[in-house]
Amino acid sequence: MRKMNLHYKSTRNSNLKAAASEAVLKGLAPDGGLFVPERIPALDIPMDKLKDMSYQETAYEVMKLFLTDFTEEELKDCIGRAYDSKFDTEEIAPLTKVDDTYYLELFHGSTIAFKDMALSILPYLMTTAAKKNNVENEIVILAATSGDTGKAAMAGFADVEGTRIIVFYPKNGVSRVQELQMVTQKGKNVDVVAIHGNFDNAQSGVKEMFENEELAGKLAENGYQFSSANSINIGRLIPQVVYYVYAYAKLLEGEELSEGEKINVVVPTGNFGNILAAYYARQMGVPIDHLVCASNENKVLFDFFRTGTYDRNRDFVLTTSPSMDILISSNLERLIYLVTGEDSEQTAAFMSELKSGGSYTLTEEMKEKLKDFKAGYATQEQTSRQIRHIWDGTGYVLDTHTAVASYVCDEYRKTSGDSGKCLIVSTASPFKFVKSVMTSIDSKYGEEDEFRLLEELKKVSGVEMPRAIADILDADVLHRTECDADKMEVTVKEILNIQ
Ligand SMILES: *Cc1c(COP(=O)(O)O)cnc(C)c1O
């Protein structure tokens, strides 16, 4: 069979075409839009075969359909380097059945959160893409993080030849464990900067640098070029499609589902990357019924799915699920592009309204196309009670992000009457958010030191302390740079030593 080449276009300009490797390399389209595949490919192998495949084999079957200008050898090499013993289980993304619900555990990689699923492969996709496109500049990864991306990106890129990485995080917006994970990261090509601002400030600052042509020129003069490891890069989105295919196949293999049986997927959502990957998996042919978008108190997406209006004009709340404390969900733009009927002018207009006035409203016709999405949210109180409730009933300990989804899943079942099976995406290990988790289990832990609580969590959960945590306990702090939110560009120039 002849291999069809799949091209990528920008959500803000349908005429712009790029090969997959170019899209991976650039991260963001030159017009500020996001790269999207010109069509979502269908799986070309039956579930019956996927059932027996390893994670790595499944990854190849999915990724080859999207990254059509990578050779089989290149892709398999990237996959092999990414999904290896960095993960603490050969299954890579194991499923745990708790009562009648399945938890897809995406936290078995080197930083114990789901960002590892994509960020352990992105550096290899990117350096392979650079070679294919004869890029000789050093690639500078700029990333804004609400906590998990930063560490996962640093771990992924550390000492990968031909790359540098600079990560910005909100100084008071990440957990103690998250911060320590970042500031202790080794690697001679790694820098991390705490900004005096929130995640949206960090993300906007990074986006502005990407769009700054003058800065791009200066970088080029010095042998550098930017790329993005943020979840807007299709090189992150595509590897995330894999685990939905894998999870469905494994549920079939374990006879938890019958052939073709539909399943609901509940995803704790921030930047809308993870749930969008579930949507892509569904479009590829995975029998997913509803996609349930779970938010915390920053419930922009909940309101959006209910009303059709995306409105970021509201107070930003720092919650116990910080990786979901987001008011601008960048990846939503890809869904907007689809519901506008791939109308890049309309998409660009919405995004410009979002930038200037902070909101936009879909037409009724567009809203109708979102009906497969359901949405819910959990307050911090509800999240905390859910952790306690699941632990009490089953002994299984959820992290705060997963608990948001777990609560929303229960509510969804109650209010919709939908009796379909549910897959909850578990995005972090409880060890990563130990303080909030332990005080949910018992308020007596409120006074205790976060590091002592790790031992307690080990006891109450019966789960071994992950290596990622054990490693930071006695590691040296290597990074101390801080800056104001409006000084990010200056800081980057200093780090790269350019004027
Ligand atoms: C990033 C993250 C999320 C949100 O995922 P998105 O793809 O940004 O929607 C949820 N939970 C955890 C633990 C995360 O790190």
User: Average per-residue pLDDT in the chain?
Assistant: 95
- What does the pLDDT read at residue 306? 97
Q: Output the six-digit token pair for 349.
A: 């207009």
Is 377 in contact with 295 (CB distance < 8 Å)? yes
When pLDDT is averaged across residues 481-486 and rounded to a whole number, the result is 96
Lowest mean pLDDT among 45-54, 122-131, 199-208, 243-252: 199-208
User: Does position 494 have pLDDT exceeding 70, yes or no?
Assistant: yes
Ligand 1 atom nearest to 276, measured from its CA: 7
Q: Would the CA dihedral through 49, 51, 54, 56 be positive or negative?
A: positive
Residue 321 Cα to ligand 1 middle (Å): 9
Rg of the chain on CA atoms, in Å = 21
Residue 433 amino acid letter: F
- The answer, yes or no, to whether residue 455 has pLDDT greater than 60, is yes
Asked if 325 and 402 touch (Cβ cutoff 8 Å), the reply is no
Ligand 1 centre to CA of 116 (Å) is: 11
pLDDT tens digits along 346-400? 999 999 999 999 999 999 999 999 999 999 999 999 999 999 999 999 999 999 9
Q: Domains (ranges, CATH) in the chain?
A: 95-113+235-464 (3.40.50.1100)
115 catalytically annotated: yes
What is the pLDDT, as a whole number, of residue 210? 87
Whole-number pLDDT of residue 150? 86
DSSP state of 162: T
How many whole angstroms separate alpha carbon 202 and alpha carbon 481? 14
CA-277 nearest atom, ligand 1: 7
Q: Report the pLDDT averaged over residues 171-178.
A: 85
What is the per-residue pLDDT for 3? 62
| pLDDT over 90 (residue 338) | yes
Tell me what the mean pLDDT of segment 444-464 comes to: 91
**Cα angle value 312/316/317 (rounded, 5°):** 135
Name the 3-class secondary structure at 337: helix
Any idea of the CA torsion for 324, 164, 117, 310, to the nearest 10 degrees? 30
Residues with CB under 6 A from ligand 1: 113-115, 148, 231, 268-274, 323-324, 401, 427-428
Share of the chain above pLDDT 90, in %: 86
Catalytic pick among 26, 64, 86, 115:
115
pLDDT over 90 (residue 244): yes
Which residue among 324, 327, 328, 434 is best mutated to probe the pocket of ligand 1, counting the most ligand atoms within 8 A of its Cβ?
324
Residue 409: both structure tokens together? 């899943």
pTM, rounded to two decimals: 0.93
Which pLDDT score is estimated for 259? 94
What residues are paired with 402 via a beta bridge? Answer: none
Confidence of residue 1 (pLDDT cuts 50, 70, 90): very low
- Give the Å distance between the CA of 274 and the centre of ligand 1: 7
pLDDT digits (tens, 9 = 90+) for 457-469: 999 999 999 988 8
**Whole-Å CA distances, 79 to 7, 159, 237, 360, 399:** 21, 18, 15, 39, 28
Please give the sequence-ordered ranges of beta strands (E in DSSP) within 319-395, or none if there are none.
359-361, 373-377
268 CB contacts (<8 Å, ≥6 apart)? 274, 294, 321, 324, 401, 402, 404, 405, 425, 427
What does the alpha-carbon distance between residue 323 and residue 22 come to, in Å, rounded to a whole number?
29
Give me the pLDDT at residue 2, please: 47
pLDDT per residue over 125-173, tens digit each? Answer: 999 999 999 999 999 999 998 777 888 999 999 988 899 999 999 998 8
Summarised one tens digit per residue, pLDDT across range 385-431 is 999 999 999 999 999 999 999 999 999 999 999 999 999 999 999 99
Handedness of CA 42, 271, 168, 469 (dihedral sign): negative
Which residue, by CA, sits nearest to atom 1 of ligand 1? Answer: 323
How confident is residue 98, by pLDDT bands cut at 50, 70 and 90? very high
CA 377, chain centre distance (Å): 18
Tokens matching residue 411: 């509510």
**Distance (Å, rounded) from C-alpha 23 to C-alpha 242?**
19
